[in-house]
Amino acid sequence: MVSSIIGHLHFGGADLSFRKKFRLFFTVAAVVLLLGGIKAAVHFFGFEFLELNRLLTSGIGGAIFIIGFLLSSILADYKEAERIPADIRTSIEAIDGDLESFAVINNDFDLIASRRILIATIDKLRTGRGHASDHKNIPPVLDEIGKLTPIFGRLEGLGMSYPQTLQVKQL
C-alpha cells in the first residue's frame, strides 16, 4: 500500500558545480576585462575617434535606461518561476490530504489508485523537467494529471459535497 506521497515530494535544488553556478559571472567578467583592455589600448595609442561630449553621454544614458526598462519585466517572470515548485508541492499535498480525509469517511473510495497517479505525476514531472529531457518534456505529466479527472468526477457520486469537490478540482 502506498502510505503517503510526502516522501516523493522532494523538489530540492539542483546539484550544480561551481563552474555552472557562476558561469554567467565569469563570462561577464571576461567580457568586461576584454573590453576594458581594448579601451585602455585605444586610449594609450591615441586611436579614440569619439570625443566625450554631452550628446554621447546622454545617448549612453538613454540606452542604459531603455535596457533597464526592458529587463525590469523579466524580473517578475523570474520571481513567478521561483514560486512554481512550491505551488505544485502545496497543490499535490492538498489534493492528497483531501482525498485521504475522504477515504476515511468513505470506504468505497480507492485512495491507493489516486496516490499512485499522484506519485507517477511527481516522477514524470521530475524526469520531464530534468536534464535528460532537456527541461521540456511536459506531455507525459499532463497525461498523468488527466488520469485524475475520472477520479474527481466520481467523488461527488461517492458522497463528497459539491464545494469540497470543486475545491479539489481547482487545486
Give the whole-angstrom CA distance, residue 154 versus residue 86: 28
pLDDT in tens, 74-87: 878 888 888 888 88
pLDDT in tens, 46-103: 888 877 789 888 999 999 999 988 888 787 888 888 888 888 888 888 888 888 888 8
3-state secondary structure of 67: helix
Of 127, 125, 96, 126, the residue nearest 111 (C-alpha): 96
- Residue 104, C-alpha cell as written in the block: 476515511
Count how many residues are written for the chain.
171
